[in-house]
Each structure stands twice: as C-alpha cells, then as structure tokens.
Amino acid sequence: MSNKQPIGIFDSGIGGSSIFKEIHALLPNESCVYLADSINAPYGNKSREDILRLSIKNTEYLINTGCKIIVIACNTATTNAIDYLRANYSIPFIGIEPAIKPAALNTQTKAIGILATKGTLSSQLFHKTTDLYSERIKIIEQVGDGIVPLIEAGQLNSVELQSLLEIYLKPMLEQNIDYLVLGCTHYPYLIPMLSKMLPEHIKIIDSGRAVANQTNLVLASQDLLNTYSEIPKIEFFSNSDITVLNAILENKFNVNHLKF
C-alpha cells in the first residue's frame, strides 16, 4: 500500500461532504475519492440488510479504485455496517457516530437532544452508547424524517425544512436541552438555519472534526500519510444529479456523474 493512494469516503449522498471538508482542512496533502450514493438516498429508512448491501457496494468500489483507507462518512452506514466491513475487508475503516459523549459529559441542564436517522437511532451501536449515559441525563432522540431528501434537493433555505425542524426541536426545547447533537452527516448543512431557530445557550455539535482527527491518527500509525509533494487529486462521484453537490462544494472540486 503506497501513501500516495487516496482516502476513500462514502455516504448515502452529499452529506458526507461535510466530513470531507474537515478531512481536507486537516490533511490538505491527501488525495480523496468521494462516493455519493445519492440515487439510493436516504439510507436512514432502509432495512439493516439494505444498508449493509449498499455499504459493501460502496466499499468494494473504493477498494477497486485503490484507496488506502475508507471513511464511512455516514452515521447510518457506520452504526449498521462497520462491524461487518471491518471483519470482512483488511483495509482500515474510520466510522462516524453521533457525538453523545461530549454532550453527555458537559450538559448543565442534564438534557441533550439528538437528531439522527431512524437507521442510526435504532442501531445496536447507538443503544450501546446511550445506555452509558441514560441513567444520569435525559436523552431526547428524534428521527429527522424528511430532512435528508430536502438537503439532497438543495432546499436548505426552504419553508418545508424550517417547518420540519420546528416540529423536531419542540420536544427538545420543552425538556430544556443545552446540547443538540447532529447525528447525520447531512445535518451540519442545517447549522445556519438551526442557529437562527435555537436559543443562544444551546450548543450544536457534530462529529466531523473528530473523524478527521481519527483519520489522521490511523494514517500516521500505519505510515500511510502522503509525504509526496505533488498536488493531491480530489475527485467526487455521484450516481445522481451533480448540481447540488457542486453547489455545496462551491464548484471548487472535480465532480463527476458515475453509475456505481
């Protein structure tokens, strides 16, 4: 395995680009291949078997492209498939899970909110984490039904999105949360809207920076960081329309349509 090879990143769609941005900011010397499986988005309401099958398809594509590590930039795919993937492929995997721990350890009101997909909130991995804290604090879980399709459609400022968020945040506000955990990689794109809707004392957190740090650590520990000085190659592939992906990347990267 040569350290010039790219980091492979996949998500059910464009949301994992929020993770790519963190990785690229921390590791600007690394080449990346990003797969947006938008044609199959959202993963959040699919069965565990379907999420696993799609995660295997994305993983095999990235391995065949020559990636040296795979970042599963999707909470739904991580919580449902990472154990299987790690057991069946020798390439290192980095996953993402909702940032429950920092919220649970720092909450003053003893109540935190978590917005994520049904697939994440119903996973065993998620329950294992919440079980560690649920005796000491209130954890208000909310499925973000309908949010991912609106983000995939580029409707980040829409009335529909605002109405959904109002409904989803209401029980959290009633329980006096002081942390809102974004448990889906699409949701960091909600932050501008959420910041306007939430009282100032509520902190919004996600796991993007932690995933980038972990990617760096694993690459360094396996001597896989790119030490060559050539300009890295960053490529995005989507199996659906590329307009919205291009827009959220501000047309800064090479985005291609690809059937996979």
Contact positions with ligand DGL (CB under 6 A) in 201-260: none
- Does residue 17 belong to the site contacting ligand DGL (CB under 6 A)? no
Q: Is 148 in the site for ligand DGL (CB under 6 A)?
A: yes
Residue 164 or 225: the one with the smaller Cβ distance to ligand DGL is 164
Position of minimal CB gap to ligand DGL: 44
Q: How far, in Å, CA of 11 to CA of 16, rounded?
A: 5
| Binding of ligand DGL by 18 (CB under 6 A) | no
Give the residue with the Cβ less far from ligand DGL, 120 or 142: 120
Q: Give the nearest distance from C-beta 71 to ligand DGL in angstroms.
A: 12
Exactly one of 27, 32, 62, 74 binds ligand DGL (CB under 6 A); that residue is 74
Q: Interface with ligand DGL includes 55 (CB under 6 A)?
A: no
Q: Is 129 in the site for ligand DGL (CB under 6 A)?
A: no
Q: Which residues are catalytic?
A: 74, 184
CB atoms within 10 A of CB 108: 9
Interaction with ligand DGL in 150-209: which residues (CB under 6 A)? 184-186
Stretch that binds ligand DGL, among 69-77, 166-174, 207-215, 220-228 (CB under 6 A): 69-77
Segment contacting ligand DGL by CB under 6 A, of 8-16, 62-70, 225-233, 238-246? 8-16
Q: Which residue number, 41 or 234, has a Cβ lying nearer to ligand DGL?
A: 41
**Footprint on this chain of ligand DGL (rule: CB under 6 A):** 11-13, 15, 41-44, 74-76, 117, 120, 148, 184-186
